[in-house]
Amino acid sequence: MHLNCKNNLLYWTFGNLAACRGVVHGIFTRCGGLSSGPFAGLNVGKNGGDDPGAVEQNRKSITDCMENGKLFFLSQVHGTQVIAMEDAHNTANAPGAMKAAICPEADAALTCRPVQMLTIQVADCQSVMLHDPEKKAVANIHAGWRGSIGGIVGRCVDELETRFGTNPSALVCGIGPSLGPCCAEFINHETEIPAHFRKYKDEKDRFNFWQITHDQLVEKGVRPSRIEWSNLCTRCNTHLLYSYRQANTTGRFAAVIGLTG
């Protein structure tokens, strides 16, 4: 990954995605922004107790870095629901639709519409970005441990194939910063995580969810050479990233991807 600075904000880009035309993306650090206290920095999460005005300004600052595209947020629930941006847009603008419909409950979004920036809020879970340069489509996944073992990554690849005709071998993918194999300890794994995932566990009950995501993508037909990992653990890098494991009350950093036209 490459660390960029724009408008006094720091954000990473994946080399493989940055090489694609017509797509913009960024994984923003917590550096900069107006939030204070345990949320200090560029917090984009609205539900943790931060000042709403600071969060809105932080989100606007990110928009300015993403070619002024409109940030599209989900109400993340640690599940396996995948939603198409087009469906969410239609629901939000239907007669009598409630404002809450703009942030549907789901943990992955996909679109072929330009200037709609799919945004995942992160504080230990993975953001997984997918881009189909042939069909001009993108997806962004919030893959917590529940979503990972539930198969949300594979489900999102399936949705891209069904809706847009994506060939998985054409996908370009990035696995964002999250709780790494150094810190992802699950002392209750025998009741929480199915037995067939234990090959990803070390002797200290720490799981490698980066590898799980990689393997789930490959199982769906994604080429290993087209998958890039951040190799950044959120808990080990709280000077740059928010981590729920490290500080229960904390903010959320943004992982954003969208088409430019």
The average pLDDT across 2-16 equals: 94
The count of domains in the chain is: 1
For 53-64, what is each residue's pLDDT tens digit? 999 999 999 999
Print burial letters for 95-128: b (CB count within 10 Å at least 16), e (below 16). eeeeeeeeebebbbbbbbbeebbbbbbbbbbbbb
Can you give the CATH number for the domain in which 49 is found? 3.60.140.10
pTM score of the predicted model: 0.92
Closest to 242 in 3D by CA, of 29, 60, 54, 46: 29
| Residues of the chain above pLDDT 90, percent | 87
Q: Choose among 41, 9, 46: nearest CA to 242.
A: 41
Q: Which whole number is the average pLDDT over 79-107?
A: 65
Domain that holds residue 174: 2-259
166: helix, coil or strand?
coil
Residue 172 corresponds to which amino acid? V
List alpha helices for the chain, DSSP H.
15-18, 52-65, 85-92, 145-150, 152-164, 189-192, 209-219
Question: In this model, does residue 101 exceed pLDDT 80?
Answer: no
Closest CA to 238 of 57, 40, 44: 40
